[in-house]
Structure 1
Protein backbone atom coordinates (compact mmCIF):
# COMPACT_ATOMS: atom_id res chain seq x y z
CA UNK A 1 0.00 0.00 0.00
CA UNK A 2 1.31 3.47 -0.91
CA UNK A 3 1.97 6.06 1.77
CA UNK A 4 -1.26 7.72 2.85
CA UNK A 5 -1.31 11.42 1.94
CA UNK A 6 -3.88 13.32 3.96
CA UNK A 7 -3.51 17.04 4.53
CA UNK A 8 -6.40 19.13 3.12
CA UNK A 9 -6.09 22.91 2.86
CA UNK A 10 -8.29 23.57 5.90
CA UNK A 11 -5.89 21.54 8.02
CA UNK A 12 -2.96 23.68 6.85
CA UNK A 13 -4.93 26.73 7.97
CA UNK A 14 -5.77 25.09 11.30
CA UNK A 15 -2.08 24.35 11.93
CA UNK A 16 -1.16 27.98 11.33
CA UNK A 17 -3.90 29.13 13.69
CA UNK A 18 -2.82 26.71 16.40
CA UNK A 19 0.75 28.01 16.20
CA UNK A 20 -0.51 31.60 16.33
CA UNK A 21 -2.70 31.16 19.40
CA UNK A 22 -0.55 28.82 21.45
CA UNK A 23 1.00 31.90 23.05
CA UNK A 24 -2.44 32.80 24.47
CA UNK A 25 -2.84 29.58 26.47
CA UNK A 26 -1.22 28.24 29.63
CA UNK A 27 -1.43 24.55 28.78
CA UNK A 28 -2.56 22.16 26.06
CA UNK A 29 -5.20 19.45 26.35
CA UNK A 30 -4.59 16.79 23.72
CA UNK A 31 -7.28 14.15 23.14
CA UNK A 32 -6.04 10.74 22.00
CA UNK A 33 -7.80 7.44 21.40
CA UNK A 34 -6.98 5.03 24.26
CA UNK A 35 -6.98 2.14 21.76
CA UNK A 36 -4.06 3.69 19.83
CA UNK A 37 -2.30 6.15 22.19
CA UNK A 38 0.75 6.54 19.94
CA UNK A 39 -0.84 6.43 16.48
CA UNK A 40 -3.50 8.97 17.51
CA UNK A 41 -0.98 11.57 18.63
CA UNK A 42 0.00 14.35 16.26
CA UNK A 43 3.80 14.62 16.00
CA UNK A 44 3.42 18.18 14.69
CA UNK A 45 1.82 19.08 18.00
CA UNK A 46 4.94 18.17 19.97
CA UNK A 47 6.98 20.47 17.73
CA UNK A 48 4.49 23.31 18.17
CA UNK A 49 3.89 23.20 21.94
CA UNK A 50 7.57 22.67 22.85
CA UNK A 51 7.77 23.10 26.66
CA UNK A 52 4.15 24.15 27.17
CA UNK A 53 2.48 22.09 29.95
CA UNK A 54 0.61 19.21 28.36
CA UNK A 55 -2.44 17.20 29.47
CA UNK A 56 -3.13 14.03 27.48
CA UNK A 57 -6.70 12.72 27.69
CA UNK A 58 -7.11 9.09 26.61
CA UNK A 59 -10.68 8.83 25.34
CA UNK A 60 -12.91 5.89 24.37
CA UNK A 61 -11.68 3.86 27.34
CA UNK A 62 -14.91 1.84 27.17
CA UNK A 63 -13.56 0.31 23.93
CA UNK A 64 -9.93 -0.19 25.10
CA UNK A 65 -8.39 -2.91 27.25
CA UNK A 66 -8.59 -1.47 30.80
CA UNK A 67 -5.31 -2.96 32.02
CA UNK A 68 -3.49 -1.68 28.94
CA UNK A 69 -4.98 1.77 29.52
CA UNK A 70 -3.53 1.86 33.05
CA UNK A 71 -0.12 0.92 31.66
CA UNK A 72 -0.33 3.62 29.00
CA UNK A 73 -1.20 6.29 31.57
CA UNK A 74 1.89 5.32 33.57
CA UNK A 75 4.14 5.26 30.50
CA UNK A 76 3.03 8.60 29.02
CA UNK A 77 3.21 10.67 32.23
CA UNK A 78 6.29 12.70 33.11
CA UNK A 79 7.12 15.89 34.98
CA UNK A 80 5.48 18.16 32.38
CA UNK A 81 2.80 15.79 31.09
CA UNK A 82 -0.29 14.68 32.99
CA UNK A 83 -2.44 11.84 31.62
CA UNK A 84 -6.12 11.10 32.28
CA UNK A 85 -8.11 8.13 30.96
CA UNK A 86 -11.73 9.24 30.62
CA UNK A 87 -15.09 8.09 29.32
CA UNK A 88 -16.12 11.38 27.73
CA UNK A 89 -19.68 10.25 27.06
CA UNK A 90 -20.65 8.94 30.50
CA UNK A 91 -18.21 10.44 33.00
CA UNK A 92 -18.25 13.80 34.80
CA UNK A 93 -14.65 14.76 34.17
CA UNK A 94 -14.54 18.47 35.06
CA UNK A 95 -12.95 18.04 38.50
CA UNK A 96 -10.21 15.81 37.10
CA UNK A 97 -9.38 18.24 34.29
CA UNK A 98 -9.28 21.18 36.73
CA UNK A 99 -7.00 19.32 39.14
CA UNK A 100 -4.61 18.27 36.38
CA UNK A 101 -4.54 21.81 34.97
CA UNK A 102 -3.66 23.30 38.37
CA UNK A 103 -0.85 20.79 38.85
CA UNK A 104 0.59 21.56 35.40
CA UNK A 105 0.31 25.33 35.86
CA UNK A 106 1.38 25.51 39.51
CA UNK A 107 4.50 27.61 38.70
CA UNK A 108 2.32 30.18 36.89
CA UNK A 109 -0.23 30.28 39.72
CA UNK A 110 2.51 30.75 42.32
CA UNK A 111 4.12 33.50 40.23
CA UNK A 112 0.83 35.40 40.09
CA UNK A 113 0.36 35.06 43.84
CA UNK A 114 3.89 36.35 44.57
CA UNK A 115 3.11 39.43 42.50
CA UNK A 116 -0.08 39.99 44.44
CA UNK A 117 -2.20 39.18 41.39
CA UNK A 118 -5.40 37.27 41.89
CA UNK A 119 -4.92 34.14 39.74
CA UNK A 120 -7.00 34.42 36.58
CA UNK A 121 -8.72 31.41 34.98
CA UNK A 122 -6.22 29.12 33.29
CA UNK A 123 -6.45 28.97 29.51
CA UNK A 124 -6.12 25.65 27.71
CA UNK A 125 -6.06 24.79 24.02
CA UNK A 126 -8.00 21.62 23.19
CA UNK A 127 -6.69 19.70 20.21
CA UNK A 128 -6.65 16.26 18.67
CA UNK A 129 -6.78 14.50 15.34
CA UNK A 130 -10.23 13.74 13.87
CA UNK A 131 -12.53 11.25 15.57
CA UNK A 132 -10.66 10.84 18.87
CA UNK A 133 -13.42 12.43 20.96
CA UNK A 134 -12.49 16.12 20.88
CA UNK A 135 -15.97 17.20 19.77
CA UNK A 136 -17.53 15.06 22.50
CA UNK A 137 -15.24 16.71 25.06
CA UNK A 138 -16.17 20.21 23.88
CA UNK A 139 -19.89 19.50 23.49
CA UNK A 140 -20.09 17.97 26.97
CA UNK A 141 -18.47 21.07 28.43
CA UNK A 142 -20.62 23.48 26.41
CA UNK A 143 -23.84 21.47 27.04
CA UNK A 144 -24.82 21.87 23.41
CA UNK A 145 -23.69 20.76 19.96
CA UNK A 146 -22.65 24.26 18.89
CA UNK A 147 -20.11 25.47 21.43
CA UNK A 148 -20.42 29.06 22.55
CA UNK A 149 -18.03 31.59 21.05
CA UNK A 150 -16.68 34.40 23.24
CA UNK A 151 -14.90 37.56 22.10
CA UNK A 152 -11.24 37.76 23.02
CA UNK A 153 -8.75 40.39 21.82
CA UNK A 154 -6.97 39.22 18.69
CA UNK A 155 -8.84 35.92 18.46
CA UNK A 156 -10.64 34.99 15.25
CA UNK A 157 -14.11 33.49 15.39
CA UNK A 158 -12.88 30.31 13.71
CA UNK A 159 -11.41 29.35 17.08
CA UNK A 160 -13.86 29.17 19.97
CA UNK A 161 -13.35 30.09 23.62
CA UNK A 162 -15.53 28.06 25.96
CA UNK A 163 -15.94 28.51 29.71
CA UNK A 164 -15.05 25.19 31.34
CA UNK A 165 -15.61 26.35 34.92
CA UNK A 166 -14.47 29.20 37.19
CA UNK A 167 -10.87 27.99 36.95
CA UNK A 168 -10.41 27.19 33.25
CA UNK A 169 -11.29 28.56 29.82
CA UNK A 170 -10.90 26.36 26.76
CA UNK A 171 -9.84 27.26 23.24
CA UNK A 172 -11.31 24.83 20.74
CA UNK A 173 -9.38 23.99 17.57
CA UNK A 174 -10.21 21.92 14.48
CA UNK A 175 -9.03 18.32 14.29
CA UNK A 176 -5.65 18.26 12.56
CA UNK A 177 -3.70 15.39 11.01
CA UNK A 178 -0.07 15.58 10.00
CA UNK A 179 0.89 15.71 6.30
CA UNK A 180 1.59 12.02 5.68
CA UNK A 181 2.03 8.73 7.46
CA UNK A 182 5.55 7.44 6.89
CA UNK A 183 4.63 4.34 8.89
CA UNK A 184 2.02 2.41 6.91
CA UNK A 185 0.76 0.67 10.04
CA UNK A 186 -0.09 3.99 11.72
CA UNK A 187 -2.19 4.91 8.70
CA UNK A 188 -3.98 1.55 8.83
CA UNK A 189 -4.72 1.85 12.55
CA UNK A 190 -6.12 5.35 12.09
CA UNK A 191 -8.22 4.19 9.15
CA UNK A 192 -9.45 1.17 11.10
CA UNK A 193 -10.68 3.31 13.99
CA UNK A 194 -12.15 6.05 11.83
CA UNK A 195 -9.64 8.93 12.07
CA UNK A 196 -9.11 8.78 8.29
CA UNK A 197 -12.01 8.80 5.84
CA UNK A 198 -12.87 5.37 4.44
CA UNK A 199 -12.23 6.69 0.92
CA UNK A 200 -8.51 7.18 1.69
CA UNK A 201 -7.70 3.52 2.45
CA UNK A 202 -9.53 0.56 0.90
CA UNK A 203 -11.87 -1.27 3.27
CA UNK A 204 -10.23 -4.55 2.19
CA UNK A 205 -6.77 -3.35 3.28
CA UNK A 206 -8.20 -2.24 6.62
CA UNK A 207 -10.07 -5.50 7.26
CA UNK A 208 -7.13 -7.71 6.28
CA UNK A 209 -4.77 -5.70 8.49
CA UNK A 210 -7.14 -5.92 11.45
CA UNK A 211 -7.76 -9.64 11.05
CA UNK A 212 -4.04 -10.37 10.72
CA UNK A 213 -3.27 -8.30 13.86
CA UNK A 214 -6.00 -10.05 15.85
CA UNK A 215 -4.87 -13.51 14.72
CA UNK A 216 -1.39 -12.71 16.06
CA UNK A 217 -2.30 -10.79 19.23
CA UNK A 218 -5.79 -11.72 20.40
CA UNK A 219 -7.16 -14.69 18.42
CA UNK A 220 -9.71 -15.39 21.15
CA UNK A 221 -11.48 -12.17 20.23
CA UNK A 222 -12.21 -13.70 16.81
CA UNK A 223 -13.06 -17.19 17.98
CA UNK A 224 -15.28 -16.07 20.87
CA UNK A 225 -17.32 -13.47 19.03
CA UNK A 226 -17.64 -15.12 15.62
CA UNK A 227 -17.65 -18.73 16.86
CA UNK A 228 -15.17 -19.84 14.21
CA UNK A 229 -11.82 -21.58 13.96
CA UNK A 230 -8.83 -19.47 12.94
CA UNK A 231 -7.62 -20.27 9.41
CA UNK A 232 -4.10 -20.16 7.97
CA UNK A 233 -4.43 -16.64 6.50
CA UNK A 234 -6.41 -13.50 7.38
CA UNK A 235 -8.26 -13.73 4.08
CA UNK A 236 -9.42 -17.29 4.76
CA UNK A 237 -10.37 -16.36 8.32
CA UNK A 238 -12.49 -13.49 7.02
CA UNK A 239 -14.15 -15.76 4.45
CA UNK A 240 -14.95 -18.18 7.28
CA UNK A 241 -16.62 -15.33 9.17
CA UNK A 242 -18.58 -14.42 6.04
CA UNK A 243 -19.85 -17.96 5.60
CA UNK A 244 -20.71 -18.23 9.30
CA UNK A 245 -22.71 -14.99 9.06
CA UNK A 246 -24.45 -16.02 5.85
CA UNK A 247 -22.98 -13.17 3.81
CA UNK A 248 -23.34 -14.93 0.50
CA UNK A 249 -24.02 -14.05 -3.13
CA UNK A 250 -25.06 -17.38 -4.53
CA UNK A 251 -22.37 -19.80 -3.34
CA UNK A 252 -19.68 -17.14 -2.86
CA UNK A 253 -19.02 -14.81 0.06
CA UNK A 254 -20.05 -11.19 -0.55
CA UNK A 255 -16.59 -9.81 0.22
CA UNK A 256 -17.49 -6.13 0.15
CA UNK A 257 -20.31 -6.65 2.65
CA UNK A 258 -18.06 -8.88 4.77
CA UNK A 259 -15.18 -6.39 4.94
CA UNK A 260 -17.46 -3.46 5.84
CA UNK A 261 -19.27 -5.51 8.48
CA UNK A 262 -16.00 -6.73 10.05
CA UNK A 263 -14.54 -3.22 10.31
CA UNK A 264 -17.81 -1.92 11.78
CA UNK A 265 -17.74 -4.69 14.41
CA UNK A 266 -14.26 -3.56 15.46
CA UNK A 267 -15.19 0.12 15.60
CA UNK A 268 -18.23 -0.75 17.70
CA UNK A 269 -16.10 -2.97 20.00
CA UNK A 270 -18.28 -6.00 19.21
CA UNK A 271 -15.17 -8.22 19.39
CA UNK A 272 -14.28 -6.90 22.83
CA UNK A 273 -12.22 -4.10 24.35
CA UNK A 274 -9.02 -4.14 22.32
CA UNK A 275 -5.98 -1.89 22.61
CA UNK A 276 -4.11 -1.99 19.29
CA UNK A 277 -0.77 -0.76 20.65
CA UNK A 278 1.22 -2.21 23.51
CA UNK A 279 3.13 -0.12 26.08
CA UNK A 280 6.91 -0.12 25.54
CA UNK A 281 6.53 -1.26 21.94
Structure 2
Protein backbone atom coordinates (compact mmCIF):
# COMPACT_ATOMS: atom_id res chain seq x y z
CA UNK A 1 0.00 0.00 0.00
CA UNK A 2 1.44 3.34 -1.03
CA UNK A 3 2.54 6.03 1.38
CA UNK A 4 -0.14 8.71 1.76
CA UNK A 5 1.53 10.99 4.29
CA UNK A 6 1.26 13.93 1.91
CA UNK A 7 -2.53 13.82 2.25
CA UNK A 8 -2.72 13.42 6.01
CA UNK A 9 -3.29 16.27 8.45
CA UNK A 10 -5.47 16.74 11.53
CA UNK A 11 -9.04 15.97 10.50
CA UNK A 12 -10.82 14.90 13.67
CA UNK A 13 -11.66 17.08 16.66
CA UNK A 14 -14.16 15.10 18.72
CA UNK A 15 -14.44 13.35 22.03
CA UNK A 16 -17.91 13.76 23.58
CA UNK A 17 -18.31 13.58 27.32
CA UNK A 18 -20.33 10.36 27.12
CA UNK A 19 -17.30 8.64 25.58
CA UNK A 20 -15.12 9.45 28.59
CA UNK A 21 -17.88 8.27 30.91
CA UNK A 22 -18.22 5.04 28.92
CA UNK A 23 -14.49 4.36 29.27
CA UNK A 24 -14.74 4.58 33.04
CA UNK A 25 -17.80 2.31 33.02
CA UNK A 26 -16.05 -0.31 30.87
CA UNK A 27 -13.19 -0.53 33.35
CA UNK A 28 -15.75 -1.48 35.98
CA UNK A 29 -17.64 -3.93 33.79
CA UNK A 30 -14.50 -5.81 32.72
CA UNK A 31 -13.94 -6.71 36.36
CA UNK A 32 -17.27 -8.60 36.31
CA UNK A 33 -16.70 -10.81 33.27
CA UNK A 34 -14.76 -13.97 32.50
CA UNK A 35 -14.01 -13.52 28.77
CA UNK A 36 -13.60 -10.33 26.72
CA UNK A 37 -14.64 -10.10 23.07
CA UNK A 38 -13.06 -7.17 21.24
CA UNK A 39 -14.92 -6.35 18.04
CA UNK A 40 -12.85 -4.71 15.30
CA UNK A 41 -13.93 -3.53 11.85
CA UNK A 42 -12.31 -5.94 9.36
CA UNK A 43 -11.77 -3.01 6.96
CA UNK A 44 -9.69 -1.13 9.56
CA UNK A 45 -8.39 -3.66 12.12
CA UNK A 46 -5.64 -1.37 13.41
CA UNK A 47 -7.55 1.90 13.21
CA UNK A 48 -10.56 0.44 15.05
CA UNK A 49 -8.48 -1.08 17.86
CA UNK A 50 -9.02 1.15 20.88
CA UNK A 51 -5.83 1.14 23.02
CA UNK A 52 -7.99 1.83 26.06
CA UNK A 53 -9.57 -1.61 25.63
CA UNK A 54 -6.19 -3.35 25.57
CA UNK A 55 -5.29 -1.61 28.80
CA UNK A 56 -8.45 -2.57 30.69
CA UNK A 57 -8.57 -6.20 29.50
CA UNK A 58 -5.35 -7.12 31.28
CA UNK A 59 -4.95 -10.88 31.69
CA UNK A 60 -8.58 -11.76 30.96
CA UNK A 61 -9.14 -14.33 28.18
CA UNK A 62 -9.48 -12.17 25.08
CA UNK A 63 -10.92 -12.84 21.61
CA UNK A 64 -10.31 -10.55 18.62
CA UNK A 65 -13.29 -10.56 16.25
CA UNK A 66 -12.94 -9.03 12.78
CA UNK A 67 -16.51 -8.00 12.06
CA UNK A 68 -17.94 -6.84 8.72
CA UNK A 69 -15.60 -9.27 6.98
CA UNK A 70 -18.07 -9.31 4.08
CA UNK A 71 -17.09 -5.68 3.36
CA UNK A 72 -13.33 -6.25 3.52
CA UNK A 73 -10.80 -7.70 1.09
CA UNK A 74 -10.62 -11.46 1.89
CA UNK A 75 -6.85 -11.55 1.29
CA UNK A 76 -6.29 -8.69 3.71
CA UNK A 77 -8.58 -10.30 6.28
CA UNK A 78 -6.51 -13.47 6.05
CA UNK A 79 -3.32 -11.44 6.52
CA UNK A 80 -4.77 -9.73 9.60
CA UNK A 81 -5.95 -13.06 11.02
CA UNK A 82 -2.45 -14.45 10.65
CA UNK A 83 -1.00 -11.31 12.24
CA UNK A 84 -3.16 -11.54 15.36
CA UNK A 85 -2.51 -15.28 15.60
CA UNK A 86 1.25 -14.66 15.65
CA UNK A 87 0.59 -12.24 18.53
CA UNK A 88 -0.85 -15.15 20.51
CA UNK A 89 -4.45 -13.97 20.13
CA UNK A 90 -7.59 -15.97 19.44
CA UNK A 91 -9.04 -14.35 16.30
CA UNK A 92 -12.15 -14.88 14.17
CA UNK A 93 -13.55 -13.15 11.08
CA UNK A 94 -17.34 -12.83 11.07
CA UNK A 95 -20.28 -10.99 9.53
CA UNK A 96 -22.60 -10.11 12.39
CA UNK A 97 -25.47 -9.09 10.09
CA UNK A 98 -25.77 -12.46 8.39
CA UNK A 99 -24.62 -14.42 11.40
CA UNK A 100 -21.70 -16.01 9.56
CA UNK A 101 -19.07 -17.03 12.12
CA UNK A 102 -21.31 -16.59 15.17
CA UNK A 103 -21.32 -20.28 16.10
CA UNK A 104 -17.53 -20.36 15.95
CA UNK A 105 -17.45 -17.33 18.24
CA UNK A 106 -19.61 -19.02 20.88
CA UNK A 107 -17.39 -22.11 20.71
CA UNK A 108 -14.29 -19.95 21.15
CA UNK A 109 -15.79 -18.32 24.25
CA UNK A 110 -16.64 -21.74 25.65
CA UNK A 111 -13.11 -23.01 24.97
CA UNK A 112 -11.41 -20.03 26.61
CA UNK A 113 -13.74 -20.17 29.60
CA UNK A 114 -13.26 -23.90 30.25
CA UNK A 115 -10.36 -23.41 32.72
CA UNK A 116 -12.58 -20.99 34.65
CA UNK A 117 -15.46 -23.47 34.67
CA UNK A 118 -13.12 -26.20 35.90
CA UNK A 119 -12.10 -24.01 38.84
CA UNK A 120 -15.77 -23.42 39.69
CA UNK A 121 -16.49 -27.14 39.63
CA UNK A 122 -13.63 -27.81 42.03
CA UNK A 123 -15.21 -25.29 44.38
CA UNK A 124 -18.63 -26.87 43.97
CA UNK A 125 -20.04 -24.03 41.86
CA UNK A 126 -22.24 -25.49 39.12
CA UNK A 127 -24.94 -22.96 38.32
CA UNK A 128 -23.05 -19.82 37.35
CA UNK A 129 -23.08 -18.76 33.68
CA UNK A 130 -19.93 -17.67 31.89
CA UNK A 131 -20.02 -13.92 31.49
CA UNK A 132 -18.52 -12.10 28.56
CA UNK A 133 -18.43 -8.53 27.38
CA UNK A 134 -18.31 -7.23 23.81
CA UNK A 135 -16.12 -4.15 23.49
CA UNK A 136 -15.41 -1.96 20.50
CA UNK A 137 -15.56 1.48 18.98
CA UNK A 138 -18.87 3.00 17.80
CA UNK A 139 -20.63 1.52 14.78
CA UNK A 140 -18.56 -1.68 14.72
CA UNK A 141 -21.60 -3.94 15.12
CA UNK A 142 -21.74 -4.93 18.79
CA UNK A 143 -25.50 -4.71 19.22
CA UNK A 144 -26.12 -6.39 15.86
CA UNK A 145 -23.93 -9.29 16.95
CA UNK A 146 -25.75 -9.68 20.25
CA UNK A 147 -29.11 -9.54 18.48
CA UNK A 148 -28.06 -12.37 16.19
CA UNK A 149 -26.63 -14.48 18.99
CA UNK A 150 -29.77 -14.01 21.09
CA UNK A 151 -32.07 -14.61 18.14
CA UNK A 152 -34.06 -11.45 18.83
CA UNK A 153 -33.67 -7.68 19.02
CA UNK A 154 -32.19 -7.89 22.51
CA UNK A 155 -30.40 -4.56 22.31
CA UNK A 156 -31.17 -1.30 20.60
CA UNK A 157 -29.13 -0.66 17.46
CA UNK A 158 -28.69 2.64 15.68
CA UNK A 159 -27.12 3.96 12.48
CA UNK A 160 -25.43 6.81 14.31
CA UNK A 161 -22.13 6.01 16.06
CA UNK A 162 -22.24 5.86 19.84
CA UNK A 163 -26.01 5.49 20.18
CA UNK A 164 -26.46 2.13 21.91
CA UNK A 165 -28.29 3.05 25.09
CA UNK A 166 -27.97 1.40 28.47
CA UNK A 167 -26.24 -1.82 29.40
CA UNK A 168 -27.88 -5.19 29.84
CA UNK A 169 -27.00 -8.84 30.23
CA UNK A 170 -28.29 -11.00 27.40
CA UNK A 171 -28.66 -14.74 27.90
CA UNK A 172 -27.15 -16.86 25.11
CA UNK A 173 -28.06 -20.52 25.47
CA UNK A 174 -27.80 -22.13 28.89
CA UNK A 175 -24.37 -21.11 30.08
CA UNK A 176 -23.41 -17.80 28.49
CA UNK A 177 -24.33 -14.20 29.27
CA UNK A 178 -23.28 -11.20 27.16
CA UNK A 179 -23.06 -7.60 28.30
CA UNK A 180 -23.54 -4.88 25.71
CA UNK A 181 -21.64 -1.62 26.15
CA UNK A 182 -21.40 1.77 24.44
CA UNK A 183 -18.84 2.20 21.68
CA UNK A 184 -15.76 3.97 22.97
CA UNK A 185 -13.28 6.15 21.11
CA UNK A 186 -10.11 7.31 22.80
CA UNK A 187 -9.24 10.83 23.93
CA UNK A 188 -6.26 11.44 21.65
CA UNK A 189 -6.22 10.30 18.04
CA UNK A 190 -2.50 10.72 17.36
CA UNK A 191 -2.60 8.66 14.16
CA UNK A 192 -4.63 10.96 11.95
CA UNK A 193 -4.63 8.50 9.07
CA UNK A 194 -6.42 6.10 11.41
CA UNK A 195 -8.75 8.94 12.39
CA UNK A 196 -9.59 9.52 8.73
CA UNK A 197 -10.34 5.84 8.23
CA UNK A 198 -12.59 5.82 11.27
CA UNK A 199 -14.44 8.67 9.59
CA UNK A 200 -14.67 6.82 6.27
CA UNK A 201 -16.30 3.79 7.86
CA UNK A 202 -18.74 5.78 9.99
CA UNK A 203 -17.20 5.26 13.42
CA UNK A 204 -16.98 9.04 13.83
CA UNK A 205 -19.99 11.30 13.32
CA UNK A 206 -19.98 12.90 9.87
CA UNK A 207 -20.28 16.44 11.19
CA UNK A 208 -17.04 16.56 13.20
CA UNK A 209 -14.24 15.94 10.70
CA UNK A 210 -12.73 17.55 7.62
CA UNK A 211 -14.52 15.80 4.75
CA UNK A 212 -12.16 17.16 2.08
CA UNK A 213 -9.08 15.58 3.65
CA UNK A 214 -10.85 12.30 4.33
CA UNK A 215 -12.13 11.97 0.77
CA UNK A 216 -8.72 12.67 -0.75
CA UNK A 217 -7.36 9.72 1.20
CA UNK A 218 -10.30 7.47 0.34
CA UNK A 219 -10.14 8.21 -3.39
CA UNK A 220 -6.40 7.60 -3.43
CA UNK A 221 -6.85 4.20 -1.80
CA UNK A 222 -9.68 3.18 -4.10
CA UNK A 223 -7.60 4.25 -7.10
CA UNK A 224 -4.61 2.23 -5.92
CA UNK A 225 -6.73 -0.80 -5.10
CA UNK A 226 -8.90 -0.91 -8.23
CA UNK A 227 -8.66 2.02 -10.68
CA UNK A 228 -10.97 0.32 -13.18
CA UNK A 229 -13.72 0.34 -10.58
CA UNK A 230 -13.65 4.15 -10.41
CA UNK A 231 -13.72 4.36 -14.20
CA UNK A 232 -16.70 2.03 -14.45
CA UNK A 233 -18.63 3.37 -11.47
CA UNK A 234 -18.44 7.03 -12.44
CA UNK A 235 -18.12 6.68 -16.24
CA UNK A 236 -14.69 8.29 -16.24
CA UNK A 237 -11.96 8.31 -18.84
CA UNK A 238 -8.79 6.50 -17.62
CA UNK A 239 -6.74 9.69 -17.99
CA UNK A 240 -9.04 11.47 -15.53
CA UNK A 241 -7.51 9.36 -12.77
CA UNK A 242 -4.09 10.93 -13.32
CA UNK A 243 -4.89 14.20 -11.57
CA UNK A 244 -6.13 13.60 -8.00
CA UNK A 245 -7.05 17.26 -7.64
CA UNK A 246 -9.40 17.05 -10.63
CA UNK A 247 -10.69 13.52 -9.99
CA UNK A 248 -13.44 14.56 -7.60
CA UNK A 249 -14.56 17.32 -9.95
CA UNK A 250 -14.81 14.78 -12.78
CA UNK A 251 -16.90 12.48 -10.61
CA UNK A 252 -19.13 15.39 -9.64
CA UNK A 253 -19.75 16.33 -13.27
CA UNK A 254 -20.66 12.75 -14.18
CA UNK A 255 -23.07 12.58 -11.26
CA UNK A 256 -24.73 15.92 -12.00
CA UNK A 257 -23.44 17.73 -8.93
CA UNK A 258 -23.69 21.10 -10.63
CA UNK A 259 -24.76 24.48 -9.36
CA UNK A 260 -25.33 27.75 -11.26
CA UNK A 261 -22.72 28.47 -13.88
CA UNK A 262 -21.88 24.79 -14.34
CA UNK A 263 -19.71 24.76 -11.21
CA UNK A 264 -19.32 21.39 -9.49
CA UNK A 265 -20.66 21.12 -5.94
CA UNK A 266 -17.61 19.32 -4.56
CA UNK A 267 -19.15 18.72 -1.15
CA UNK A 268 -22.08 16.89 -2.73
CA UNK A 269 -19.66 14.86 -4.86
CA UNK A 270 -17.66 13.90 -1.77
CA UNK A 271 -20.76 12.68 0.01
CA UNK A 272 -21.78 10.58 -2.99
CA UNK A 273 -18.39 8.84 -3.04
CA UNK A 274 -18.46 8.35 0.73
CA UNK A 275 -21.92 6.76 0.56
CA UNK A 276 -20.79 4.53 -2.30
CA UNK A 277 -17.86 3.27 -0.24
CA UNK A 278 -19.99 2.56 2.80
CA UNK A 279 -22.59 0.79 0.64
CA UNK A 280 -19.90 -1.48 -0.87
CA UNK A 281 -20.20 0.04 -4.34
CA UNK A 282 -16.47 0.68 -4.45
CA UNK A 283 -15.48 -2.92 -3.88
CA UNK A 284 -14.31 -4.89 -0.87
CA UNK A 285 -11.64 -2.47 0.23
CA UNK A 286 -9.57 -2.96 3.38
CA UNK A 287 -8.07 0.39 4.34
CA UNK A 288 -5.52 -0.77 6.93
CA UNK A 289 -2.47 -2.69 5.76
CA UNK A 290 -0.72 -5.06 8.16
CA UNK A 291 2.70 -3.55 7.44
CA UNK A 292 1.69 0.12 7.59
CA UNK A 293 3.26 2.50 10.04
CA UNK A 294 1.09 5.09 11.83
CA UNK A 295 1.12 8.71 10.66
CA UNK A 296 1.58 10.84 13.76
CA UNK A 297 0.63 14.50 13.66
CA UNK A 298 2.33 16.55 16.37
CA UNK A 299 -0.49 19.05 16.81
CA UNK A 300 -3.23 16.47 17.21
CA UNK A 301 -6.07 17.77 19.35
CA UNK A 302 -6.53 16.27 22.83
CA UNK A 303 -10.22 16.02 23.60
CA UNK A 304 -12.11 17.16 26.63
CA UNK A 305 -12.96 14.13 28.77
CA UNK A 306 -15.12 15.96 31.33
TM-score, with structure 1 as normaliser: 0.89
Specify which of 234, 258, 269 is matched with residue 269 of structure 2: 258
- 2:299 maps to which residue? none
**Contact residue 53 and residue 80 of structure 1 kept, 8 A:** no
Higher relative contact order (CA 8 A, sep 6+): 2
Match of 1:151 in 2: none
Match of 1:210 among 210, 218, 233: 218
Deviates more, 1:20-29 or 1:91-100: 91-100
Q: How far apart, CA to CA, are the structure 1 residues paired with 2:96 and 2:20?
A: 28
Residues 94, 260 of structure 1: CA spacing in aligned structure 2 closer, same or farther, 3 A cutoff?
Answer: closer
CA contact (8 A) 1:81 1:104 kept: no
Q: Which moved more, 1:123-132 or 1:225-234?
A: 225-234
* Mapped contact 1:14–1:176 kept (Cα < 8 A): yes
Where does residue 63 of structure 2 map in the other structure? 55
Per the alignment, residue 114 of structure 2 pairs with 106
Structure having the larger proportion of residues in strand: 1
What is the deviation of 1:92?
5.2
Is 2:45 the partner of 1:44? no
1:247 paired residue among 257, 269, 288 = 257
Instruction: Note the C-alpha offset of 1:40.
Output: 0.7
Q: CA deviation at 1:160?
A: 0.9
Please tell me whether residue 238 in structure 1 is matched to residue 248 in structure 2.
yes
Q: CA deviation at 1:93?
A: 4.3
1:172-226 Cα distance to aligned partner (Å, 9 max, x none): 1111100021011011000011000111112222211211222334323323432
1:15 Cα offset (Å)? 1.1
User: Judging changes above 3 Å, is the alpha-carbon distance between structure 1 residues 55 and 46 closer, same or farther for their aligned structure 2 residues?
Assistant: same
Aligned residues of 2:212 and 2:270 also touching (Cα < 8 A): yes
- Note if contact 2:94-2:102 (Cα within 8 Å) is conserved in structure 1: no
**Aligned residue-pair number:** 273
**TM-aligned CA deviation for residue 141 of structure 1:** 3.1
* CA distance in structure 1 between the aligned counterparts of 2:270 and 2:47, rounded to whole angstroms: 22
Q: Is the 8 A contact 1:6 1:180 kept in 2?
A: no
Alignment of 1:174-189 (within 5 A): 174-189=182-197
**Partner residue in 2 for 1:8:** 16
CA RMSD of aligned residues (A): 2.2
Q: Which runs of 5+ in 1 are unaligned?
A: 149-156
Q: Can you list the C-alpha shifts for 1:140-194, whole angstroms capped at 9, x where unaligned?
A: 234444539xxxxxxxx94211112212100111111000210110110000110
| Cα distance in 1 for residues equivalent to 2:11 and 2:269 | 25
Give runs of ≥4 in structure 1 deviating > 6 Å. none
Distance 1:271 1:45, change over 3 A: same
**Residue 22 (str. 1) matches residue 33 (str. 2):** no
